[in-house]
């Protein structure tokens, strides 16, 4: 659905009443493009522009030219063939050579339109058929030296089959836009105050809207696009920052003023390794948040193995030192169990009770845990979605940690807010999926963001290798070498079994058979883990591998989160071209968790698309999750990334790109922050139009800042 612009009441006029539309076209425009009003149409922007400023000579045209524009005389024409094989051919001559124009449809209409010996402006893509160059279904208009399309930059609008059936082409939309602009141009009100327009050297809004639809020059088009992109990003950031400011004022939080005995004893006696500078910085940021009296909402980003769990544990100890309980919610039982075991081990000897609650917890265990939780005897609870059940009642919940937050829906996370009757707990959401700064500013713009950008000392970067299927024996050699040295190997497949739709992909069942042939039992032990197995069978396979009794684990991406086996030093990813960069990076993070050198081998077919090859090259070139995330954003676009993050649709940008326009977004954010610093509620008279526009936009977005 298109957003309506609140620029002027005339723009709320129903599109039916625009000359050239009428009820039938209006119905199609509404159904296909969501255009109901004049304002909706005005903000339907071209998806590209055709530069018709150059006229080509037929003698210079080659078959590789993308599109050409000719001015030529019609010297011959006629229809040939019968039925489906019929076509209409015209020959044109510009004095330097001849070109054939061909139509396979609309023959009667084109035959009536063309006149012998008349001169036409012709536009289309040349192609070679036999020894002749021709253009199929070109745009063709009579040439008028006084008034022609030559010299213009022509807008191109998206259309669909149903629009074409209703005789609504790109040219039709352009004609409607011209009619509309002439009607409403004087009624378009400015949305930005004069001081921002002057400070940012922006074109006025009426000028920008005219030039984005009918560019008078390339320079004016670029200025129009800059103005409209700035406006999109400015109002997006203004809305995000105003929500964040409002939340900081309205949502009171528990005051954790003490860093006490539990935190200090853990730091002095129990830390398994010295904290990195990045971990220390993040803990300081979290401590500062939790003692302000405002509710903390902080996103903690860090690559796999960067030490997020220790930061989360130390944050929970601050809650305990201040008389509150804490909980951590993980997306899988495997990961919840892993947190429980590692945290219990790190806290041994301290008077802190840690509990575990998952779907597999027995009834008697649950009942005892619920009682201890309600009475305040249980300090830290670790669990899965089971934490969300109504029966789980805390005595005094002060901090919620959500691990791998993108695996939980917003509604699920919101239920944890209600676990404290007096005021909501502080919230720390963690992700090992690096999010580019440009996207984080938008998707998570109203959260504070902390980044752990260092790995603990002693960790060696994983060496990544790209092999094609022809190099499989080399792969098997590397696997045998690692196993001979006492190490273990993951082999990950995109599918459990063969799929007719994706016949070129390696599947787990076939892979398991080939692995066991190359690594036969009993000398080698291979286990299988995938999502369609029962929980018991899956746990058995995981435990066999984690305990070192199995040499090879053949799995699907079920192991992407929650398997920590420091002795595993080789990750093999089959059909790696079928995985996104973010997932490849997550899978690679399963190895390199010990002190030994580790490897990740990307197995692909020989034929790769340009995007697939770039993904492989990026993985081989770097272990930096944020650099990988930036490339992923460039390749997939923000929509796909958001899908991975399960973030809904947090923003709707028509012209601006968070990748290509990142510096402009930073500029827009700074300007929005300056506005709110001087006028937090947008109540000053010169901000009235801006406030009205912001309120009317009603940007559809998921509120990660509230998590509610």
Per-residue pLDDT tens over the stretch 422-474? 778 998 988 877 776 666 666 666 677 888 888 777 677 899 999 998 999 99
Per-residue pLDDT of 558-582, as tens digits, reads 665 556 788 999 999 999 998 888 8
* Band (623; pLDDT cuts 50, 70, 90): confident
Region 3-19: mean pLDDT is 74
Region 44-67: mean pLDDT is 86
Q: What is the CATH number of the domain that holds 354?
A: 3.40.50.300
Quick check: is 93 in a domain?
yes
Q: Is the pLDDT of residue 256 over 70?
A: yes
* Band (641; pLDDT cuts 50, 70, 90): very low
pTM: 0.64
Distance between CA 281 and CA 594 in Å, rounded? 24
The more confidently predicted of residues 141 and 204 is 204
173 with 265, same domain: the answer is no
Region 36-65: mean pLDDT is 88
Quick check: is 338 in a domain?
yes
Quick check: is 42 in a domain?
yes
Q: Is the pLDDT of residue 498 over 60?
A: no
Q: What is the CATH number of the domain that holds 34?
A: 1.10.150
pLDDT for the residue numbered 194: 95
pLDDT for the residue numbered 560: 54
Show Cβ contacts of residue 363 under 8 Å, excluding neighbours closer than 6 positions.
Answer: none
Q: Which of 221-225, 317-321, 692-696 has the lowest mean pLDDT?
A: 692-696
615 with 530, same domain: the answer is yes
Strands 98-103 and 87-93: antiparallel
pLDDT for the residue numbered 432: 76
| Residue 450 CB neighbours (<10 A) | 24
284 with 414, same domain: the answer is yes
Which two tokens mark 420?
A: 């404290």
pLDDT for the residue numbered 407: 53
Quick check: is 350 in a domain?
yes
Q: Is the pLDDT of residue 233 over 80?
A: yes
* Band (58; pLDDT cuts 50, 70, 90): very high
pLDDT for the residue numbered 109: 85
pLDDT for the residue numbered 348: 92
314 with 364, same domain: the answer is yes
Quick check: is 84 in a domain?
yes
481 with 593, same domain: the answer is yes
566 with 598, same domain: the answer is yes
Region 602-608: mean pLDDT is 92
E strand or H helix at 627: helix 625-645
Quick check: is 345 in a domain?
yes
Residue % of the chain over a pLDDT of 70 = 87
267 with 389, same domain: the answer is yes
Distance between CA 484 and CA 523 in Å, rounded? 11
Which two tokens mark 659?
A: 């990748």
Q: Is the pLDDT of residue 251 over 50?
A: yes
Q: Is the pLDDT of residue 648 over 50?
A: no
Structural domain count of the chain? 4
* Band (283; pLDDT cuts 50, 70, 90): very high
Domain stops at, among 577, 606, 622? 622
Quick check: is 537 in a domain?
yes
Q: How deeply is 132 buried, as exposed, middle or buried, from its count of CB atoms within 10 A (0-12, 13-18, 19+)?
A: exposed
pLDDT for the residue numbered 311: 95
Q: Is the pLDDT of residue 501 over 50?
A: no
184 with 109, same domain: the answer is no
Q: Is the pLDDT of residue 505 over 60?
A: no
Per-residue pLDDT of 143-177, as tens digits, reads 887 765 565 888 989 888 888 888 898 989 999 99
Q: Is the pLDDT of residue 287 over 80?
A: yes
Q: What is the CATH number of the domain that holds 86?
A: 2.40.50.140
Domain range for 379 is 261-290+307-431
Domain stops at, among 150, 181, 206? 150
* Band (268; pLDDT cuts 50, 70, 90): very high
pLDDT for the residue numbered 642: 42
419 with 317, same domain: the answer is yes
Triad 126, 129, 133: Cα angle to 5°:
40
pLDDT for the residue numbered 147: 62
Burial 591-627 (b: 16+ CB within 10 A, else e): bbbbebebbbbbbbeeebeeebeebbebbeeebebbe
62 with 23, same domain: the answer is no
Quick check: is 204 in a domain?
no
Q: Is the pLDDT of residue 421 over 80?
A: no
Q: Is the pLDDT of residue 520 over 60?
A: yes
Region 486-505: mean pLDDT is 68
62 with 172, same domain: the answer is no
Phi, psi of 68, rounded to the nearest 5 degrees: -135, 155
Distance between CA 157 and CA 172 in Å, rounded? 9
79 with 176, same domain: the answer is no
Task: Identify whether the C-beta of residue 600 lies closer than 8 Å to the C-beta of residue 465.
Answer: yes
As a whole number, the mean pLDDT across the chain is: 85
Phi, psi of 553, rounded to the nearest 5 degrees: -110, 120
Highest mean predicted confidence (pLDDT) among 152-166, 291-305, 346-360: 346-360
pLDDT for the residue numbered 502: 42
């Amino acid at each position: 659905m298109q957003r309506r612009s609140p620029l002027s009441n005339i723009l709320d006029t129903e599109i039916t009443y625009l000359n050239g539309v009428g009820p039938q076209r209006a119905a199609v425009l509404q159904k296909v493009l969501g255009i109901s009003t004049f304002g909706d149409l005005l903000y339907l922007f071209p998806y590209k522009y055709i530069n018709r400023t150059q006229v080509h000579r037929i003698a210079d045209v080659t078959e590789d030219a993308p599109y050409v524009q000719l001015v030529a005389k019609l010297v011959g024409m006629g229809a040939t063939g019968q039925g489906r094989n019929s076509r209409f051919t015209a020959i044109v001559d510009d004095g330097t050579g001849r070109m054939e124009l061909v139509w396979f449809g609309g023959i009667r209409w084109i035959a009536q339109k063309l006149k012998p010996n008349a001169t036409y402006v012709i536009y289309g893509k040349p192609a070679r058929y036999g020894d002749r160059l021709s253009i199929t279904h070109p745009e063709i208009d009579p040439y008028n030296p006084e008034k022609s399309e030559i010299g213009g930059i022509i807008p191109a609008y998206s259309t669909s089959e149903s629009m074409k059936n209703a005789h609504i082409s790109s040219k039709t939309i352009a004609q409607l836009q011209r009619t509309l602009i002439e009607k409403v141009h004087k009624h378009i009100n400015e949305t930005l105050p004069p001081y921002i327009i002057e400070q940012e050297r922006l074109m006025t809004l009426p000028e920008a809207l005219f030039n984005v639809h009918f560019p008078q020059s390339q320079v004016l088009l670029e200025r129009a696009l800059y103005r409209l992109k700035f406006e999109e990003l400015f109002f997006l950031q203004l809305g995000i920052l105003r929500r964040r400011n409002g939340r900081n004022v309205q949502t009171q939080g528990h005051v954790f003023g003490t860093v006490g005995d539990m935190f200090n004893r853990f730091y002095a006696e129990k830390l398994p390794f010295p904290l990195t500078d990045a971990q220390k910085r993040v803990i300081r940021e979290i401590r500062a948040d939790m003692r302000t009296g405002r509710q903390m909402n902080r996103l903690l980003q860090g690559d796999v193995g960067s030490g997020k769990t220790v930061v989360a544990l130390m944050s929970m100890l601050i809650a305990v030192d201040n008389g509150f309980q804490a909980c951590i919610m993980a997306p899988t039982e495997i990961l919840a169990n892993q947190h429980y075991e590692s945290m219990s081990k790190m806290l041994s000897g301290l008077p802190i009770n840690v509990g575990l609650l998952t779907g597999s917890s027995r009834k008697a265990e649950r009942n005892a845990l619920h009682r201890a939780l309600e009475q305040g005897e249980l300090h830290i609870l670790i669990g899965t979605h089971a934490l969300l059940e109504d029966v789980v009642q805390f005595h005094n919940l002060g901090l919620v940690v959500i691990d791998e937050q993108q695996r939980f829906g917003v509604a699920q996370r919101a239920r944890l807010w209600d676990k404290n009757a007096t005021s909501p707990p502080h919230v720390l959401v963690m992700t090992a999926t690096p999010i580019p700064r440009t996207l984080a500013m938008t998707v998570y713009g109203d959260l504070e963001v902390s980044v752990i950008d260092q790995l603990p000392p002693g960790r060696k970067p994983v060496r990544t290798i790209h092999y094609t299927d022809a190099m499989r024996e080399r792969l098997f050699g590397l696997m045998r070498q690692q196993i001979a040295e006492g190490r273990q190997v993951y082999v990950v497949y995109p599918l459990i079994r063969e799929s007719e739709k994706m016949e070129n992909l390696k599947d787990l069942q076939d892979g398991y058979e080939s692995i066991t042939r190359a690594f036969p039992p009993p000398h080698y032990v291979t286990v299988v883990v995938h999502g369609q197995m029962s929980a018991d069978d899956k746990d058995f396979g995981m435990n066999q591998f984690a305990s070192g009794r199995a040499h090879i684990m053949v799995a699907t991406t079920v192991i992407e989160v929650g398997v920590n086996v420091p002795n595993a030093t080789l990750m093999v990813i089959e059909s790696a071209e079928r995985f996104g960069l973010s997932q490849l990076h997550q899978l690679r993070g399963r190895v390199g968790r010990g002190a030994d050198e580790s490897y990740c081998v990307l197995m692909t077919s020989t034929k790769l698309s340009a995007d697939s090859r770039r993904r492989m090259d990026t993985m081989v070139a770097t272990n930096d999750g944020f650099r990988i995330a930036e490339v992923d954003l460039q390749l997939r676009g923000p929509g796909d990334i958001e899908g991975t993050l399960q973030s809904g649709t947090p923003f709707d940008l028509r012209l601006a790109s968070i990748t290509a326009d990142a510096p402009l977004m930073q500029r827009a954010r700074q300007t929005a922050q300056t506005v709110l610093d001087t006028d937090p509620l947008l109540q000053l008279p010169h901000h009235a139009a801006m406030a009205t526009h912001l309120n009317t936009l009603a940007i559809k977005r998921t509120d990660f800042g509230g998590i509610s």
